[in-house]
């Protein structure tokens, strides 16, 4: 598996607000990589940093093995995106819109090619209609045509199902899966719905308040036998440091309130033993039933605030 | 780069607002022409008030196409900045508002290039406006009113002057004046563009540009020595009317106009330098700011 | 008035006696007779206007005259500023009609020529002319200079140079000086380009006097002039 996107220690502040803090993750060739998080979790900021719309304060992004800052144009030639709503020039026709963005992406955009691409998203018969007459779903399809017209290897979709009806959501999902399976594209897709990510993505990251909570294969993360344990000790920071030298390191994350560890229920005694051996004063070990519970708990936490 | 420019121009050409400006110019010019056709003599009487006591003047000859164009430009060039702002102020902010900016900026085109192309498109639009103005105010007026010598009524310091330029010495002055106006309006375009970078809808930068122009113009026209000396030279609006310099014909010691001459070319040239400097600074700032900008729209 | 009427004849007698010259009335009559030779003419000329507020080019003009006093100056092409008083440039205006009292005002010099000076006071109270002073060359009976004060158009002065058409009393060159009001543009009609030049004090002083200079190239004399041109 070749890494397509490698992000290391990425941080971004807007004034005093930490939008993204010390974020690292890797997306591999052929992945459908799900970005899950509540509104304000930092998904959009991260995606915009990947697309060079926002400049990171710290950290590095490399795509297709090249640094984004130095090779922006070369990378963007191979990247397609829909960012939030699929907005385009409303006063222009579907044909004009696609033709313009094809040219901007460095594709010649012959009439034949443009019509072919419009046909693929079922808009060939509306090619001369102005976009302002389009429904949300039609705009979404045109947005996809624009994102794909230059045959990019990496496709980044920020909340692509926002504002779509259930049928539109299903179509979008099927298309994303098709692009990955049939055409071998690498796709990053963000959503605030776990169910959606679960249905499309093979790997995922959960973000909360600008930080990575968990990252891994969707199948493993959502395995019912796997559970999330919230661990509270008298000194979480010291405990986390001690844990990082053990086999638990890969599974543990430090948050503001506790340490969370992803593990099977049957592993809890072993964890307790390890903690005891490193002289950690345990205040609580709280198992959560599944990733879904965990994600919901994050949601509640946010709504509580 | 040319490809990009083509795209920008295509987008501008497809927007209804682009044609508002052309329609506005047409309306203003035609109203002027009708008014002068109907009652141009009254205007001449007003301008020639005291002179008519001492001189016989053939007023119908004085109201000709060249004169009409001058009168129209005199009024119109004060309003045109608004029309230029309408397009240039929308260049970035309009895309931000529509949501196309973020898509545009994920394309393999550098932001510097994008600004330069958008700026070039605004300048071309401005030039098209001026060409249209020339067609309407100059050539149509010549068609309606004919060509003859042109009288320029001028206030110089606290002196009023009437300059007469012979009909064979006028056309080049108009070309030069339109050229100058293009440079002056490019400053407006650059200003509107800079403001456009900060906004996420086009109303803000358009209104801000117009306000800046109005405030500076008003200050430019406060005839108080301290402002004349210390403030006026620093306001770009003081140089917007510099196109008139091409109609201030040079004269001999005893007041005879010298054909093909300008009274004060160095002043016009300096104004052009100052305007060009404004363009460079405004455009440079736009590029620097836009390159650093986080796109959140 | 009484004193004047006593003094003037006295003065006249003295001056006439000193110069031992022609009777002034005779001289004026001679000059008038010379002018009378011309019934009409059409002349081409170049008019140069010199007024501080007026920057106009030299105009090619045509001058039309028809006895007794009709005159018209037309620009051949372009817009022209014709000084209003200039219609009397052949001095016919000054000598026109018989209704005036001639007063001998002695001698003077115009250029290098010794001249007799006559003051003409119109008898008609409604006359536009208040007073004319003419400077006549006693040898040629040509009026070399005149100064006319009018009710409406102020005072203007003519200086004439004769050579080719001297026998018809038609000048080759006329310098017409006149008073003109200061020109002021109505406020607020122009937004002017201020190029930083300032007005000098000297310019302001000069602003009251205007000059028009017409140099004639050729006359067509007594060949008839259509009444149309005077409209």
- State the ipTM, two decimals: 0.84
Structure tokens at C169: 């009393």
In whole angstroms, give the CA distance from residue A1 to residue C131: 116
| Chains contacting B (3 or more CB pairs within 8 Å) | A, C
| Chains contacting C (3 or more CB pairs within 8 Å) | B
B217-231 burial, b at 16+ Cβ within 10 Å, e below that, comes to bebbeeeeeeeeeee
CB B99 to CB A87 under 8 A?
yes
Residue C206: CB atoms within 10 Å: 13
Which one, of A166, A138, A256, A150, lies nearest residue A208 by Cα? A256
Model pLDDT, residue A150: 92
Helices (H), chain B: 2-13, 16-48, 51-54, 59-62, 65-88, 93-98, 100-104, 111-133, 141-145, 171-198, 203-220, 225-230, 265-292
The predicted-structure confidence for A30-68, as pLDDT tens digits, reads as follows 999 999 988 888 999 999 999 999 999 999 999 999 999
The answer to whether position B92 is within a domain reads: yes
Model pLDDT, residue C208: 65
B220-223: long-range contacts (C-beta < 8 A, 24 or more apart)?
A: B221/C191
The predicted-structure confidence for A142-155, as pLDDT tens digits, reads as follows 998 999 999 999 99
The Cα-based distances of A9 to A116, A216, A262, C116, C210 in angstroms read 42, 17, 22, 111, 86
Backbone angles phi, psi at C98, to 5 degrees: -110, -10
* Residue A245 CB burial class (10 angstroms; 0-12, 13-18, ≥19): exposed
In whole angstroms, give the CA distance from residue B12 to residue B22: 13
The answer to whether position B297 is within a domain reads: no
CB B11 to CB A106 under 8 A?
no
Residue A284: CB atoms within 10 Å: 10
Q: Are C128 and C150 in contact (CB under 8 A)?
A: yes
Q: For the residues of C94-129, what is the DSSP string, one character each? A: HH-SS-EEEEEEEEEEETTEEEEEEEEEES-TT-SE
Higher pLDDT, residue C94 or C132:
C132
In whole angstroms, give the CA distance from residue B213 to residue A189: 47
Mean pLDDT (whole number) for C26-47: 86
Residues 6 or more apart whose Cβ sits within 8 Å of residue B110: A72, A73
Model pLDDT, residue A256: 78
Q: Is the pLDDT of residue C67 over 80?
A: no
| Chain B nearest CA to C64, separation (Å) | 15
Number of domains in chain B: 1
Which one, of C170, C15, C178, C18, lies nearest residue C86 by Cα? C178
Model pLDDT, residue A305: 36
The predicted-structure confidence for A66-94, as pLDDT tens digits, reads as follows 999 999 999 999 999 988 888 899 999 99
Model pLDDT, residue B177: 95
The answer to whether position B84 is within a domain reads: yes
Least confident of A31-35, B78-82, B263-267: B78-82
Model pLDDT, residue B55: 83
Fold category of C23-230 in CATH: outer membrane lipoprotein receptor (LolB), chain A (2.50.20)
| Chain A nearest CA to B195, separation (Å) | 19
The answer to whether position B179 is within a domain reads: yes
Model pLDDT, residue B204: 93
Which one, of A197, A153, C154, lies nearest residue A206 by Cα? A197
Least confident of A285-299, B171-185, B254-268, C132-146: A285-299
- What strands lie across the sheet with A154-158, from one edge to the other? A79-83, A154-158, A186-191, A32-36, A203-208, A211-217
| Chain B nearest CA to A197, separation (Å) | 24
Determine the structural domain holding residue B274 and report its residue range: 2-292
Which member of B10, B107, B292 has the closest CB to residue A104?
A: B107
User: pLDDT tier at C201 (50, 70, 90 boundaries)?
Assistant: very low
Which member of C55, C58, C193 has the closest CB to residue B245?
A: C193
What pTM does this model have? Answer: 0.83
């Amino acid at each position: 598996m070749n890494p397509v996107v490698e992000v290391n220690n990425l941080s971004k502040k807007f004034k005093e607000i930490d939008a993204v803090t010390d974020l690292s993750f890797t997306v591999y060739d052929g992945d459908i990589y799900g970005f899950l998080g509540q509104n304000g979790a930092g998904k959009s900021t991260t995606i915009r940093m990947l697309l060079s719309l926002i400049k990171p304060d710290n950290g590095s992004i490399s795509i297709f093995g090249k640094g984004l800052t130095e090779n922006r144009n070369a990378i963007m030639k191979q990247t397609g995106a829909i960012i939030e709503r699929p907005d385009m020039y409303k006063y222009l026709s579907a044909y004009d819109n696609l033709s313009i963005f094809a040219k901007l992406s460095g594709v010649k955009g012959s009439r034949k090619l443009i019509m072919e691409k419009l046909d693929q998203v079922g808009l060939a018969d509306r090619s001369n209609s102005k976009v302002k007459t389009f429904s949300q779903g039609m705009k979404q399809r045109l947005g996809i045509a624009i994102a794909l017209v230059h045959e990019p290897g990496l496709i980044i979709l920020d909340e692509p199902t926002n504002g779509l009806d259930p049928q539109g959501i299903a179509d979008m999902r099927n298309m994303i899966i098709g692009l990955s399976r049939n055409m071998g594209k690498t796709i990053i897709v963000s959503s605030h719905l776990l169910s959606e990510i679960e249905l499309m993505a093979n790997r995922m990251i959960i973000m909360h308040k600008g930080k990575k909570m968990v990252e891994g294969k969707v199948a493993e993360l959502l395995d019912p036998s796997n559970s999330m344990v919230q661990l509270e000790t008298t000194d979480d920071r010291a405990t986390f440091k001690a844990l990082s030298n053990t086999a638990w390191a890969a599974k543990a994350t430090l948050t503001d309130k506790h340490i969370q560890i992803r593990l099977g229920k049957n592993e809890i005694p072993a964890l307790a033993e390890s903690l005891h051996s490193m002289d950690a004063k345990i205040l609580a070990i709280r198992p959560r039933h599944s990733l879904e519970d965990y994600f919901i708990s994050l949601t509640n936490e946010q709504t509580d605030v | 780069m040319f490809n990009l420019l083509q795209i920008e121009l295509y987008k501008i050409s497809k927007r209804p607002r682009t044609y508002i400006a052309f329609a506005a110019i047409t309306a203003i010019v035609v109203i002027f022409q009708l008014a002068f056709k109907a009652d141009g003599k009254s205007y001449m009487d007003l301008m020639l008030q005291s002179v008519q006591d001492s001189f016989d003047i053939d007023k119908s000859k004085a109201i000709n196409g060249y004169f009409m164009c001058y009168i129209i430009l005199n009024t119109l060039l004060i309003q045109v900045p608004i029309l230029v702002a309408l397009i240039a102020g929308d260049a970035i902010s309009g895309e931000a508002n529509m949501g196309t900016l973020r898509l545009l900026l994920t394309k393999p085109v550098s932001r510097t290039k994008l600004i330069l192309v958008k700026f070039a498109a605004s300048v071309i639009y401005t030039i098209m406006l001026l060409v249209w103005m020339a067609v309407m105010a100059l050539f149509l007026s010549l068609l309606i009113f004919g060509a003859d010598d042109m009288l320029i009524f001028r206030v110089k310091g606290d002196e009023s002057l009437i300059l007469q330029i012979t009909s064979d010495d006028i056309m080049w002055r108009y070309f030069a004046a339109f050229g100058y106006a293009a440079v002056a309006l490019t400053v407006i375009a650059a200003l509107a563009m800079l403001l456009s970078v900060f906004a996420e809808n086009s109303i803000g930068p358009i209104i801000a540009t117009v306000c800046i122009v109005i405030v500076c113009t008003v200050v430019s026209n406060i005839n108080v020595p301290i402002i004349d000396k210390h403030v006026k030279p620093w306001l770009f609006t003081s140089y917007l009317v510099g196109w008139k310099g091409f109609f201030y014909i040079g004269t001999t010691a005893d007041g005879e106009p010298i054909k093909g001459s300008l009274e004060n070319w160095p002043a016009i040239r300096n104004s052009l330098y100052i305007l060009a400097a404004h363009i460079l600074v405004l455009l440079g700032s736009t590029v620097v700011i836009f390159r650093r900008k986080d796109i959140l729209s | 008035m009484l004193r004047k009427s006593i003094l003037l004849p006295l003065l006249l007698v003295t001056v006439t006696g000193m110069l031992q010259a022609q009777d002034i009335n005779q001289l004026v009559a001679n000059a008038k007779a010379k002018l009378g030779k011309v019934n009409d003419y059409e002349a081409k000329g170049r008019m140069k206007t010199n007024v501080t507020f007026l920057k106009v080019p030299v105009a090619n003009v045509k001058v039309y005259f028809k006895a007794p006093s009709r005159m018209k100056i037309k620009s051949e092409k372009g817009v022209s500023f014709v000084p209003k008083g200039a219609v009397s440039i052949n001095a016919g205006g000054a000598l026109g009609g018989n209704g005036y009292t001639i007063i001998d005002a002695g001698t003077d010099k115009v250029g290098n020529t010794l001249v007799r000076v006559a003051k003409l006071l119109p008898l008609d109270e409604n006359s536009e002319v208040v007073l004319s002073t003419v400077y006549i060359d006693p040898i040629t009976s040509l009026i070399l200079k005149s100064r006319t004060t009018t009710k409406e158009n102020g005072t203007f002065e003519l200086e004439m140079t004769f050579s080719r058409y001297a026998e018809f009393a038609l000048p080759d060159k006329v310098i017409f000086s006149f008073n003109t009001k200061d020109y002021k543009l109505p406020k607020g009609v122009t937004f002017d380009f201020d190029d930083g030049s300032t007005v000098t004090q000297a310019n302001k002083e000069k602003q009251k006097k205007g000059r028009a200079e017409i140099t004639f190239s050729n006359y067509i004399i007594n060949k008839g002039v259509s009444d149309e041109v005077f409209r």
